[in-house]
Amino acid sequence: MGGSSCGPGAHLIHLWPPQFAFSDHHLGNLGPHSGPALVRTRCSCHALALAWTFSYLLFFRALSLLGLPTPTPFTNAVQLLLTLKLVSLASEVQDLHLAQRKEIASGFHKEPTLGLLPEVPSLMETLSYSYCYVGIMTGPFFRYRTYLDWLEQPFPEAVPSLRPLLRRAWPAPLFGLLFLLSSHLFPLEAVREDAFYARPLPTRLFYMIPVFFAFRMRFYVAWIAAECGCIAAGFGAYPVAAKARAGGGPTLQCPPPSSPEIAASLEYDYETIRNIDCYGTDFCVRVRDGMRYWNMTVQWWLAQYIYKSAPFRSYVLRSAWTMLLSAYWHGLHPGYYLSFMTIPLCLAAEGYLESALRRHLSPGGQKAWDWVHWFLKMRAYDYMCMGFVLLSMADTLRYWASIYFWVHFLALACLGLGLVLGGGSPSKRKTPSQATSSQAKEKLREE
């Protein structure tokens, strides 16, 4: 069940599933490759690939307006992943060219940089990576370097997969049952009916909680299953010593084992393809931490390729830019934009108010603060989820209006109070106490 070292012929095998799954639409998925293929040897290819693939997304979603067949949901899922992969690959190629230029300028050979590609991939290699059967319809996102490491795994039989798979899969049946139960008892369609708005305010307020609960359970099952597919193929396995990050891969240089015995003695993990931290999503305290634990490989991509290159210096404005492009990547439904663009307001509110008040509280007061903060964070995500699932502007605004836009008004009030009390601008840096708390939670999850 481990990975395998594959020669050029294996690239053709990796291409076959999408061709049968998408019939007439698979040629449309090849569109994004034409842009990056033309610029993959240029140092500006990252920006060009981002512009091309995001422009192609608009064309792809407007096919029905042009009288062409509407893409299936499966085809759309592949298109979303292709966008991430090709932008990432262009960035990896750009990094390779910059490293080669520095090496030429310095006049001496340097040790390979962590995660650097050995050479620019050919068009066939690019297609093979793009349509690799691992995660083709469900994700998670992975870099070309991760894909290459899987193909060139020297001793794939030494990579464990059965035990990690069972360890990862065990909560999925429970989450599946909870999804079926919650979606049956609290159907989303009820929110679209006029009778729903005749119910008392407490009922309308409460209803978003089980809707978001069902939403989480559904994605927990889907992403755990997707991770298990990767684990079964031995995909994304690295030694624990490499300290791999979701989406990005190893953060420390770890030389490949020289013998099967050494390979078998290493401890491996699959953090590179980890897409969901269920515990962190449900029990982290802050809104921005909740983003970090949800759809983790895509969050890494957004941070690496959108947030870092945003045309702003402010954390909140950079986050707004990132959320805007994330909404566009998800689709054109207004509900996506209403939901995603509420996140920067919540980030600003919690950041300013926390910096103004929390540090002045006693340890007991800080604990109470964190419990209240956690409760409000969950309610904010309940509220934003309604836009994500209702999709239309009319349905989303109708529901939010029925509960008096309370999250928006509360966030504005907290932001105003934080500013009045002299709170500082939120940043991505953690305080020592928050870092210690995160480490303790991670240790608890591992145990």
DSSP secondary structure letter of residue 268: E
**Among the ranges given (62-76, 78-92, 121-135, 306-320), the one the predictor scored with the smallest mean pLDDT:** 62-76
What is the DSSP annotation of 129-182?
A: HHT-STTTTT-----HHHHHHHHT-S-GGGS--HHHHHHHHTTHHHHHHHHHHH
Q: Is the confidence at residue 24, as pLDDT, over 70?
A: no
Q: What is the pLDDT of residue 352?
A: 95
pLDDT tens figures, 153-205: 999 999 999 999 999 999 999 999 999 999 999 999 999 999 999 999 999 99
Which of 144, 131, 35 minimizes the C-alpha distance to 93? Answer: 144
Mean pLDDT, the chain, integer: 86
180 versus 47: the higher-pLDDT residue is: 180
Q: What number is the average pLDDT over the span 30-34? A: 56
Q: Is the confidence at residue 39, as pLDDT, over 60?
A: no
Give the model's confidence band at 28: pLDDT under 50 very low, under 70 low, under 90 confident, else very high: low
372 versus 254: the higher-pLDDT residue is: 372
Q: Is the confidence at residue 37, as pLDDT, over 80?
A: no
Give the model's confidence band at 82: pLDDT under 50 very low, under 70 low, under 90 confident, else very high: very high
Q: What is the pLDDT of residue 27?
A: 47
Instruction: Please tell me the chain's helix, strand, coil percentages from 3-state DSSP, rounded to the nearest 5.
Output: 70, 0, 30
Q: Is the confidence at residue 110, as pLDDT, over 80?
A: no
Q: Report how far residue 416's alpha carbon sits from residue 353's, in angstroms, rounded to the nearest whole number.
A: 9
Q: What is the pLDDT of residue 70?
A: 84
Half-sphere exposure of 287 toward its Cβ, with a 13 Å CA cutoff? Answer: 25
Give the model's confidence band at 427: pLDDT under 50 very low, under 70 low, under 90 confident, else very high: low
Q: What number is the average pLDDT over the span 387-408? A: 97
Give the chain's largest Cα–Cα span.
Answer: 76
Q: pTM to 2 decimals?
A: 0.87
Please provide the distance, in angstroms rounded to a whole number, between the alpha carbons at the two ends of the chain.
26
Give the model's confidence band at 108: pLDDT under 50 very low, under 70 low, under 90 confident, else very high: low
Give the model's confidence band at 299: pLDDT under 50 very low, under 70 low, under 90 confident, else very high: very high
pLDDT tens figures, 314-346: 999 999 999 999 999 999 999 999 999 999 999
What residues form DSSP beta bridges with 269? 238
